[in-house]
Amino acid sequence: MKKLIFTLMFALPTFYFAQEEKPKESPTAKECDLPKDFKEPIKNNRLKKFVAIDNGVDEKDIIIIRAQNGFGSGIYTVCVKQQPIQYQKMGTVFMREGKNPFNNAK
């Protein structure tokens, strides 16, 4: 009886974690499927220039789809090559959302 319980204790979690999951399509991928008459919420050429340099694309290929401006800060969502990317503004500096500019670890 102990051997059965011991075997089930290891077998059941293995079967649970070994299940194959279907890859989920990210809901944000559809964010960049914009209608032809889409109008950008703001016109920010500095942001477009920064994003173009950061991703190695031309400024005309960048579309700002969401902008949340605050006093000296903001969060922007832009489409670059049909992929949504979030950028953050702190003061006059733009940076990709989630990146730590002070991380110097190698």
- Residue 96 tokens, joined: 């990709």
pLDDT of residue 57 exceeding 70, the answer is yes
Residue 27 burial (CB count, 10 A):
8
pLDDT category of residue 18 using cuts at 50, 70 and 90: low
Residues 86 and 64: their CA atoms lie apart, in Å, by: 10
* Mean pLDDT (whole number) for 16-35: 66
β-pairing, 93-96 vs 73-80, is unpaired
pLDDT exceeds 60 at position 51: yes
> Would the pTM of this model clear 0.75, i.e. be above it?
no
The mean per-residue pLDDT over the stretch 94-105 comes to 76
**Is pLDDT at 17 greater than 60 in this prediction?**
yes
